[in-house]
Amino acid sequence: MAGSDRAMHKSRYFLSAHIDMKIQIPLLSLLLILAAAALCAASKDDAEIRSAVKNLTAAANALDLNHTMACYADKPYVSVFSPGPSEPIVGLRAVRKNWSDFFALIKSNHSELSDIAVELDGGLAFAYFTTTEEIVMKDGTRVKPLFRSTMIFQKLNGHWLIVHEHKSEPREK
């Protein structure tokens, strides 16, 4: 390659690399901004789901049926599996009746959550945790069950609402 051709080749390479850098830096910046935004959104959703679990617990502790039910999606596929009934509780009306029947049997309820974990995937998420409860029945009997709970949430109209709940009591060793 002649000297002038080499110089022309180097200048084209430099120009190409320079243009690529002009494009690469903003592109990389945009990707970093998008990644940070996605992390912030996931972090916000995680916090909202944790808050929803705590809101349900607070409403149940207050024996507040309306606030308890506000945590569930108004969808026909809402379902609950709990240690009491042998059949699944399906539909919002049935879930409401289950909570109403439970509140009618007890004088007080105190639940404490631990080990809350949340996993997100788009408009669906699940949370799992342990609940230690102290329930005082109307006759004064105290029960202290330990539950493992899993809740599936769906984001509807900007709010994370329960579409499925499963509670079980761990077996004694």
Task: Look up the CATH number of the domain holding residue 153.
Answer: 3.10.450.50
| CA distances, 1 to each of 5, 12, 29, 54 (Å) | 6, 15, 39, 74
Burial, 22: exposed, middle or buried (Cβ in 10 Å; 0-12, 13-18, 19+)? Answer: exposed
pLDDT for res 27: 46
Judge whether 107 lies within some domain.
Answer: yes
* CA–centroid distance for 127 within its chain: 5
Judge whether 155 lies within some domain.
Answer: yes
Judge whether 163 lies within some domain.
Answer: yes
Judge whether 19 lies within some domain.
Answer: no
Whole-number Å distance between alpha carbons of 120 and 46? 7
DSSP letter for 91, please: S
Judge whether 35 lies within some domain.
Answer: no
Of 120, 114, 109, 105, whose CA–CA distance to 153 is shortest?
Answer: 120
pLDDT band at 161 (very low <50, low <70, confident <90, very high): very high
What are the residues facing 55 on neighbouring strands?
none
The three-state secondary structure class of 36 is helix
Task: Give the amino acid at 50.
Answer: R
Average confidence score pLDDT of the chain: 84
Judge whether 33 lies within some domain.
Answer: no
Judge whether 18 lies within some domain.
Answer: no
| CA distances, 47 to each of 6, 20, 119 (Å) | 60, 40, 11
Q: Six-digit token pair at 26?
A: 């903003």
pTM of the model: 0.75
pLDDT at 3 over 70: no
What's the domain count of the chain? 1
Residue 53: Cβ within 10 Å count = 22
What are the residues facing 159 on neighbouring strands?
156
Judge whether 20 lies within some domain.
Answer: no
pLDDT in tens, 82-135: 887 678 999 999 999 999 999 999 999 999 999 999 999 999 999 999 999 999
Residue 57 lies in domain = 43-168
